A and B are shown apart, each in its own frame.
Chain A
Amino acid sequence: MSNIPQSRQRNFSIIAHIDHGKSTLADRLLEATHTVDPRQMTSQVLDSMDLEREKGITIKARAVRLEYVASDGLTYGLNLIDTPGHVDFAYEVSRSLQACDGAILVVDASQGIEAQTLANVHLAMKMGLHIIPVLNKIDLPASDPEAVMNELEETLAIPREEVILASAKEGKGIPEILEALVKRIPAPSGPLDAPLKALVFDSHYDTYKGVVNYVRVQEGRLKMGEAITMMGSGAQCVPVEIGYFRPQHVPVQELQAGEVGYVATGLKSVRDARVGDTVTTTMSPAAEPLPGYQVALPLVFAGLYPLSGEDYPALREALEKLHLNDASFTFEAESSAALGFGFRCGFLGLLHMEIVQERLEREFTLQLIASAPSCKYQVHLNNNKGEMLINNPAQLPSPNHIDEIREPWVNASIVTPTTYIGTIMDLSTDKRGIFDGMEYLDEKRVVMSFQIPLAELIVDYFDQLKSRTKGYASLDYVESEYRVAPLVKLDILVNGEPVDALSTIIHRDRAQSAGRVLASKLKELIPRQMFEVPIQAAIGGTIIARETVKAVRKNVLAKCYGGDITRKKKLLEKQKEGKERMKRVGSVEIPQEAFLAVLRTDAD
Chain B
Amino acid sequence: MDGAVRHPRNDAVRGSPFGVGRLIQMTARQQREDMLALLELTGVTKEFGAIRALSDVSFSVRPGEVVGLMGDNGAGKSTLVKIISGIYQPTAGALRFAGDHAQIHSPAEARRLGIETVYQDLALADNLTAAENIFLGRELKRQVGPFRFLRHADMQARAEELFDELKSETRAGDYVRQMSGGQRQAVAIARTRLSDAKLILMDEPTAAISVRQVAEVLNLIHRLKDAGIAVILISHRMPDVFAVCERVIVMRRGTKVADKPIAASSPEEVTALITGAKEAA
* A and B part of one assembly: no
